[in-house]
Structure 1
Amino acid sequence: MKEVILLTGPPLNGRDEYIEEALKLAEKESYAYYHVFEYLKEVGKERGVKITRKNVLDFAISHPDLMNDIRDEAFEKIRMHIDNSDKKFHLVSTPSLFRWGSGSVLGFTLSNLKLLKPDRVIIMLDDILSVRRRIINDPEWFERFGKEKDNIKLTTLVMWREDAINHVKTLIHELKKEGIEVRYILQFGIRHPYQTFIDLIFHEKEKPLVYLSYPMTGHEEEYYHRVRGFYEKLSKYFTVLDPGALDDWWIVAEYDNQVEKNPGIKKIRIKNIFDGEEVEELEREDIEQATDILRRQLVERDFNLVDVSKAIAVYHYAEGISAGVISEMAEAYRTLAAIYLYYPFKRRPSPFMEFYGMQNPSRRTMFKNEDEMISAMIEEKEYWAKA
């Protein structure tokens, strides 16, 4: 049986680059990959219109009717290729929605999705500063912002993300009214290992989705090494979704630290969290405007990951109770996901954490040994993976 997976998201979030690298690990899989932009160029050429990466936005905004016709025909070609293919998985990649200047460009409409009939929708996301750096390092896009770093506002980038996600949610809701069921929408951070993406796309039945919950801020380096080691062990058996694969929180934390030290500060200096070297100077006012949206997006994204998962693995290698972890456990309890809690301390946790942490299928217990917890999850998989 064929499965169609729509891979989408905001522009300049590294979607296609990530997918193409990940698919190098998928040589043995039965799949076809459809990059919608390539189809737009092909249809445009047939109609005597040259569509390029540089002109596509301006062309779509100045010739909306023609662009709509080209996009519709591109999706018709993709649908025809899917119908004629003998492959099992069909990956369709295109941006969701993009606002530029006074106009907006849709990656797809409701009629396009009715034709495509996606089984799953995966929204590919990168952290905000990486998106900003991608723009700076892209000559065509940097030129759009007047070749001035200060013109690239975090507020703009978080709204790109907001618009893209809302466009997907709205259309999938409309699809449901039409009787077309999408199994889930998943907000996927591209800092996940490529193998996690491969497992997500191709091996979900054998390796069901598990959300990894852990206190994320204010810990020593050794703590994060332990979390990463646990993630790698768990990933041998499950498709593990990590909230740390999309981390904008450190921007807010660094802002708070610097403002506390110097209340009159105008520029916030932030190091690249991944290389620890490159430093950005960002306008304080811009971070303040973006922060409220970022905080809400973080909560909604983490709840989305919990909601699509069959189980939640809580790695609580910290005695201080995390409000975020408790909230994620409560959300998992609400959605009837299995909950497994690793808490290795003698002191009892809060009664709420204890209550939620004793909801795994066959035994009411918390775990003091992480390997024992993984073994229990494997043993009990047949109970919770089918839920």
Structure 2
Amino acid sequence: MKETVLLTGPPLNGRDEYTKEALRLAKNENFQYYHVFDYLKEIGREKGVKITRKNVLDFAISHPDLMNTIRDEAFKRIRDEIDRSDKSFHLVSTPALFRWGSGSVLGFTLSNLKLLKPSRVIIVLDDILSVRRRIIHDEEWFERFRRNEENIKLTTLVMWREDAINHVKTLVHELNKEEIQVRYVLHFGIRHPHQTFIDLIFHENEKPLIYLSYPMTGHEEEYYHKVRGFYKKLSKYFTILDPGALDDWWIVAEYDAQVEKNPEIQKIKIKNIFDGEEIEELDRDDIEQATDILRRQLVERDFNLVDVSKAIAVYHYAQGVSAGVISEMAEAYRTLGAIYLYYPFKKRPSPFMEFYGMQNPSRRTMFKDEDEMIQAMVEEKEYWTKA
């Protein structure tokens, strides 16, 4: 049986680079990969139009009818190739939507998706500062911002993300109304290991989706080392969705800390969270405007990951109550996902955590030993994956 998966999202989030590397590492998987832009260039040449990475946005805005014709033909050719193919998985990659200058450019329309009939839609996302750095180091894109880093506003980038997600959600809603069933839309951060992406695409039946919930801020390095170790152990049996794979919260935390220290500060210094060395100075006003959107996107992203998962594994290696963890457990409870809680302390947990973490009277779901919890999840997998 053939399955079509749409890989999309805002521009410059590393979608194709990440996907191609993951697929290079995938061994003996039965798939075909379609990069829509390659088809746009080919069809453009046939029509006497040279479409390049540098001119595609201006061309699409200046010649919308011709661009729509080229894009529609691209999706028709991909559909034809899928129909003729003997592969099981067909991955189609293209940006969703973004606004540029006086107009907006659509990566696909409702008619394109009705033709494609994706069973799953993966919105591939990177943290906002990494997107900004990607623009700075991309010659063609940096030129669009007049080679001035100050022109690359975080507010612009979070709105690119907002527009892309809303475009996808709107069209998928219309598809489902027409009984073209999309099983789920998933907000996927590219800080996930490549093997997680491989498991997500190819092995979802054997390794069902699990959301890993844990208190994310204000802890020592040893704490995060424990979380990563648990993630690795759990990944042997399940496809683990980690909210930390898309981490914009540290921008907000840095902003809050520096403003508290100096209320008059106008430039916020942000250190690269991954290399710990590169430092950028960002306008306070820009961060303030972006933060309101980022905070909401963070909650919506985490709830999305909970909603598509079959179960939630709560790794609460901290005694303090986390509002985020409690909210995620409540969301899993609302959507009938299985809840497993690791809480290794003698002190009783919050009554709300205890309520959500001990829902099933016929089986144990709250543990003091992480290996015992993983074993229980594996043994009971057939029970909760049927939900």
With the shorter chain as reference, the TM-score category is over 0.9
C-alpha RMSD over aligned residues: 0.8
The residue type paired with residue 239 of structure 2 is: T
TM-score, normalised with respect to structure 1: 0.99
2:211 and 2:313 in contact (8 A); partners too: yes
Aligned to 1:224: 224
Aligned to 2:236: 236
Aligned to 1:297: 297
The residue type paired with residue 336 of structure 1 is: L
Aligned to 1:72: 72
Aligned to 2:315: 315
1:340 and 1:360 in contact (8 A); partners too: no
Aligned to 2:274: 274
Structure-to-structure mapping, 1:255-270, within 5 angstroms: 255-270=255-270
Residues 97-127 of structure 1 deviation map (CA, whole Å, 9 limit, x = unaligned): 0110110000000000000000000000000
Separation in 2 of the partners of 1:229 and 1:70? 48
Aligned to 1:180: 180
Separation in 1 of the partners of 2:311 and 2:360? 9
Structure-to-structure mapping, 1:92-111, within 5 angstroms: 92-111=92-111
**Secondary structure of 1:205 counterpart:** coil
The residue type paired with residue 189 of structure 1 is: G
TM superposition shift of 1:361: 8.1
2:123 and 2:185 in contact (8 A); partners too: yes
- Percent of residue pairs bearing the same amino acid type: 85
Separation in 2 of the partners of 1:98 and 1:234? 37
Separation in 1 of the partners of 2:76 and 2:286? 42
Separation in 1 of the partners of 2:7 and 2:360? 32
TM superposition shift of 1:58: 0.4
In structure 1, the gaps of 5 or more residues are none
Aligned to 1:128: 128
Task: Answer with 298-307 or 177-186: which moved more.
Answer: 177-186
Aligned to 2:36: 36
1:212 and 1:313 in contact (8 A); partners too: yes
Separation in 2 of the partners of 1:16 and 1:284? 32
1:340 and 1:359 in contact (8 A); partners too: no
The residue type paired with residue 39 of structure 1 is: Y
TM superposition shift of 1:62: 0.1
Separation in 1 of the partners of 2:333 and 2:136? 43
**Secondary structure of 1:57 counterpart:** helix
**Secondary structure of 1:313 counterpart:** strand
**Secondary structure of 1:17 counterpart:** helix
**Secondary structure of 1:240 counterpart:** strand
2:339 and 2:365 in contact (8 A); partners too: no
**Secondary structure of 1:306 counterpart:** helix
Size of the aligned set, in residue pairs, is: 387
**Secondary structure of 1:192 counterpart:** coil
1:361 and 1:384 in contact (8 A); partners too: no
1:338 and 1:361 in contact (8 A); partners too: no
Separation in 1 of the partners of 2:220 and 2:341? 21
**Secondary structure of 2:367 counterpart:** coil
2:341 and 2:357 in contact (8 A); partners too: yes
The residue type paired with residue 82 of structure 1 is: I
Separation in 1 of the partners of 2:271 and 2:144? 25
The residue type paired with residue 131 of structure 1 is: V
TM superposition shift of 1:359: 2.8
The residue type paired with residue 322 of structure 1 is: S
TM superposition shift of 1:363: 1.2
Residues 247-304 of structure 1 deviation map (CA, whole Å, 9 limit, x = unaligned): 0000000000000000000000010001100001000000000000000000000000
The residue type paired with residue 39 of structure 2 is: Y
Separation in 2 of the partners of 1:238 and 1:361? 24
The residue type paired with residue 59 of structure 1 is: F
**Secondary structure of 1:340 counterpart:** strand
Change in Cα spacing, 1:202 to 1:267, as seen in structure 2 (3 Å) is same
Aligned to 1:356: 356
1:361 and 1:380 in contact (8 A); partners too: no
Residues 111-155 of structure 1 deviation map (CA, whole Å, 9 limit, x = unaligned): 000000000000000000000000000011111101111100000
Aligned to 1:90: 90
Structure-to-structure mapping, 1:278-289, within 5 angstroms: 278-289=278-289
Aligned to 2:18: 18
1:10 and 1:96 in contact (8 A); partners too: yes
Separation in 2 of the partners of 1:34 and 1:359? 44
TM superposition shift of 1:386: 1.6
Aligned to 1:157: 157
The residue type paired with residue 207 of structure 2 is: K
Stretches (4+) displaced over 3 A: none
TM superposition shift of 1:178: 1.2
**Secondary structure of 2:386 counterpart:** coil
TM superposition shift of 1:365: 4.1
Separation in 1 of the partners of 2:204 and 2:119? 13
The residue type paired with residue 355 of structure 1 is: F
TM superposition shift of 1:245: 0.1
